[in-house]
A and B are shown apart, each in its own frame.
Chain A
Amino acid sequence: MVAKNSAGKRSAAILDPKAVARLKERFQKQNVALVVAFFAILLVAPLLPGFKGWMAGQAALVIVYIIAAQGVSILCGYTGLVSVGHGGFLAIGAYTAALLTKHLALDLILSVIAGAITAGFVGMLMGLIFLRLAGPFMAIGTLGFAFFVGAVVNNVKVFEGREGISLPPNRIFGQVIGDTEFYYVAVAFLAGVTIFIFSLVRSSLGRALKSLRDAEKAAQSCGVNRLQYRTLAFTVSATITGAAGALNGLITHYVSAEVYSDIWYSVDILVAAVVGGSAMLMGPIVGGTFVAMLPFVLETLADFSFILKGAVLIAVLMFAPAGVCEVVARPFRAWRRRRLEVAGHGTTPPAPELRVVASKGEP
């Protein structure tokens, strides 16, 4: 969904380009300030009086979900690709970290990074296969991948199947840490990934990916190597989701096929990205929180949480196809655009007619 002004008249003459640039910089600073404020709240939260120990663990789980959704959002938001198999990367990250922690007693941070790298490597291999396919085929192929990973962890001995692998307490630099410390680790990873995506989207790489998403042929004719960039995006996305998986396994101290062979894990992550709005920084954060909190809030009503999740998903697709965050952000964006117009022209322009151009996907 792209909201457009009647562009022809406006772009003709900006009287004061400096003022526009200043204003743009200010808006950028506001964006950064919002994100910083968000993380400040996350950092202070455990110090608040009403905060109890179990909340830290629960919050860390929510953050894990958010990171996983961020991984997916790189693909379906900024690159225009869809993976329904990211649960597979989640599992790969979790099992890598779990095996390293159990057998080598590796440090928490190191095993998370190892999990992320392993998932990224597998992601690269999968990307080489799947990225040659048109969207729907890719969706099915990646779903098959998640299914395959599920079959492997269920049946290969090392992964201990449904019995699962129980893990010792987590250690950082040899120190045993509890849930609250783990929460801070999770927040740190979340911050890292968020900053990464923030700068990725604004880099030349991000622009190349978005140009491939919006006009594939045009981008290619400008020299953007489709397969190369998309493989890179797929790898990065798998890496991030792998890190989420590793965190997920380590915080619960338990990794089993019961959990990770569930292919609908993959679907949940995708739903989180879609509901929140995958092309926005806040999207996966809102969507991930929604999906992760739902079964927690409706603990005794698991089936009802399924129904609610489905209903919310369908409602979002019908009324806010670009995600909940996009709807919330829309008036602010319109206001900023007006401010920019005023700054550029010195006067209030005639109210621009807002035209909504629905994207019809690939032609």
Chain B
Amino acid sequence: MLGQQLISGLATGSLYALTAIAVVVVFRNTRTINVAQGDFSMIAAFVAVLFLKSGLNYYATIAATVAFTVLLGIVVERLVMRPIADSDWLTLFTATLGVYYIMHGVAGWIWGRDTKAFPVTFNPTPVEIFGVIISEGHLINMGWAGAIGVVLFIFFRYTKQGIAMRAVTDDPETAKLMGIPVRFIVMLTWGMAGFLGAFAGILIAPILYVSPQMMDEVLIKGYVAAVFGGLYSIPGAVVGALMIGVAENLAGGYLGSHYKTATAFVMIVALLALRPQGLFGIQKRREI
């Protein structure tokens, strides 16, 4: 029972992690708390439904959807975020709220407000690994999340763009002086938000089904997870997301499903009260 709860918690948590990573990456490069992150996923899920219905297979659908959502992220950056890039964080945050409203409205307009099933469902017969019974869906989700984690690791560690992105995170001014195209990197950041959003959307869709508000809760949990990493550290955000997934599942399993949704808030209050800089955050000295 406990092993089961842990595993399914980790599986859910790994999906929260995708959102959390995107929140962290966008925040640390652009000071923007991206409210529209959930909507990248939501739009991706709808678009994936469209592709699947038109007869594309699962993997081609993923590729096409990811391409579409990356483009969407870039469009949002160019049209909305770039003109106000120098504003304070509140303006940037509120602007993404505007994007949230627009995407929500567009999705509701085109596809309607009702919850729809996702055409791909996982085999409900569970598999047994090391004595723990896991459903196929959980296994697949964890696999994808792990693969994306590896891709991100390689990107940030070994590619020129990834290293440039880290440089922009650390010090945009210096990075600019060193000849790093900061604007391009910011665009890439939003592209990455779209990329992660697409996977989060496609992987969550079979569980939460597809509707304009499908990602609202997940987004909040992604935020909380991101705060675990001090809105700065990706590993911190991933650990936070997994913890939320597990804690939520345990609370749901042992205390009753009522307590499931409140878990994330209790965790964030405890965290913020005890370690405001995040679990792995570094205490930054505040400037005058």
B272 touches A217 (CB 8 A): no
Residues A249-274 near B (CB distance < 8 A):
263-264, 267, 270-271, 274
User: Smallest CB-CB separation from B230: which chain A residue?
Assistant: A137
User: Smallest CB-CB separation from B231: which chain A residue?
Assistant: A136
- B203 CB → nearest A CB, Å: 22
A307 touches B220 (CB 8 A): no
CA separation between A298 and B220, bound complex, in Å? Answer: 29
Interface string of A334-363 (1 = CB under 8 A from B): 000000000000000000000000111111
Which one, B78-86, B133-141, B169-177, B183-191, is touching chain A? B78-86
User: Smallest CB-CB separation from A217: which chain B residue?
Assistant: B288
| B223 contacts A by Cβ under 8 Å | yes
| A321 contacts B by Cβ under 8 Å | yes
A321 touches B91 (CB 8 A): yes
| A293 contacts B by Cβ under 8 Å | no
| B276 contacts A by Cβ under 8 Å | yes
Report which residue of A274, A308, A313 has the largest number of chain B beta carbons within 10 angstroms of its beta carbon: A313
| B128 contacts A by Cβ under 8 Å | no
A270 touches B94 (CB 8 A): yes
Chain B residues with CB under 8 Å of A132's CB are 272, 276
Residue of A143, A147, A313 touching B94 (CB-CB under 8 A): A313
| B227 contacts A by Cβ under 8 Å | yes
Report which residue of B84, B113, B268 has the largest number of chain A beta carbons within 10 angstroms of its beta carbon: B268
Q: With A136-B33, A147-B264, A155-B258 in contact, do A361 and B276 touch (Cβ < 8 Å)?
A: no
| A145 contacts B by Cβ under 8 Å | yes
CA separation between A323 and B109, bound complex, in Å? Answer: 28
| B101 contacts A by Cβ under 8 Å | yes
Interface string of B8-41 (1 = CB under 8 A from A): 0000000000000000000100010101000000
| A318 contacts B by Cβ under 8 Å | yes
User: For the complex, would chain B's binding face be called helix, strand, loop or mixed by DSSP majority?
Assistant: helix
- A147 CB → nearest B CB, Å: 5
Chain A residues with CB under 8 Å of B258's CB are 151, 155
Q: With A137-B272, A148-B265, A151-B261 in contact, do A303 and B84 touch (Cβ < 8 Å)?
A: no
| A98 contacts B by Cβ under 8 Å | no
| B205 contacts A by Cβ under 8 Å | no
A307 touches B262 (CB 8 A): no
A358 touches B108 (CB 8 A): no
Chain A residues with CB under 8 Å of B100's CB are 310
| B269 contacts A by Cβ under 8 Å | yes
| A296 contacts B by Cβ under 8 Å | no
| A33 contacts B by Cβ under 8 Å | no
| B180 contacts A by Cβ under 8 Å | no
A309 touches B33 (CB 8 A): no
- A361 CB → nearest B CB, Å: 2
B93 touches A139 (CB 8 A): yes
Chain B residues with CB under 8 Å of A359's CB are 88
B33 touches A139 (CB 8 A): yes
| A129 contacts B by Cβ under 8 Å | yes
Chain A residues with CB under 8 Å of B87's CB are 317, 321, 358, 360-361
Chain B residues with CB under 8 Å of A147's CB are 217, 220, 261, 264-265
Chain A residues with CB under 8 Å of B80's CB are 314
B268 touches A310 (CB 8 A): no
B272 touches A129 (CB 8 A): yes
| A152 contacts B by Cβ under 8 Å | yes
CA separation between A358 and B87, bound complex, in Å? Answer: 8
Residue of A151, A306, A360 touching B88 (CB-CB under 8 A): A360
Chain A residues with CB under 8 Å of B269's CB are 129, 141, 144
Q: How many residues of A contact B (CB 8 A)?
A: 51
- The tally of CB-CB contacts under 8 A between chains A and B is 147
Chain B residues with CB under 8 Å of A136's CB are 27, 31, 33, 89, 93, 231
Residue of B94, B105, B261 touching A274 (CB-CB under 8 A): B94
B287 touches A310 (CB 8 A): no
| A305 contacts B by Cβ under 8 Å | yes
User: Smallest CB-CB separation from A362: which chain B residue?
Assistant: B88
| B56 contacts A by Cβ under 8 Å | no
Chain A residues with CB under 8 Å of B276's CB are 132-134, 137
A306 touches B104 (CB 8 A): yes
B272 touches A130 (CB 8 A): yes
Chain B residues with CB under 8 Å of A140's CB are 33, 223-224, 226-227, 268
Chain A residues with CB under 8 Å of B109's CB are 303-304, 307
Chain B residues with CB under 8 Å of A318's CB are 83-84
Q: With A140-B268, A307-B101, A361-B88 in contact, do A271 and B216 touch (Cβ < 8 Å)?
A: no
A363 touches B101 (CB 8 A): no
- B133 CB → nearest A CB, Å: 29
User: Smallest CB-CB separation from A221: which chain B residue?
Assistant: B288
Q: With A137-B272, A362-B88 in contact, do A311 and B224 touch (Cβ < 8 Å)?
A: no
| B143 contacts A by Cβ under 8 Å | no
| A135 contacts B by Cβ under 8 Å | yes
B89 touches A303 (CB 8 A): no
B105 touches A267 (CB 8 A): no
A307 touches B88 (CB 8 A): no
CA separation between A155 and B106, bound complex, in Å? Answer: 31
Chain A residues with CB under 8 Å of B94's CB are 270-271, 274, 313, 317
Chain A residues with CB under 8 Å of B35's CB are 267
Chain A to chain B contacts (Cβ below 8 Å), 17 pairs? A130-B272, A133-B276, A134-B276, A136-B31, A139-B33, A144-B268, A147-B261, A147-B264, A302-B108, A307-B109, A310-B103, A313-B94, A317-B84, A318-B84, A321-B91, A360-B86, A361-B89
- Supply 13 further A-B pairs (C-beta < 8 A) apart from A136-B33, A144-B220, A314-B95: A135-B89, A136-B231, A140-B33, A141-B227, A144-B224, A307-B102, A310-B103, A311-B98, A314-B102, A317-B98, A360-B88, A361-B88, A361-B89
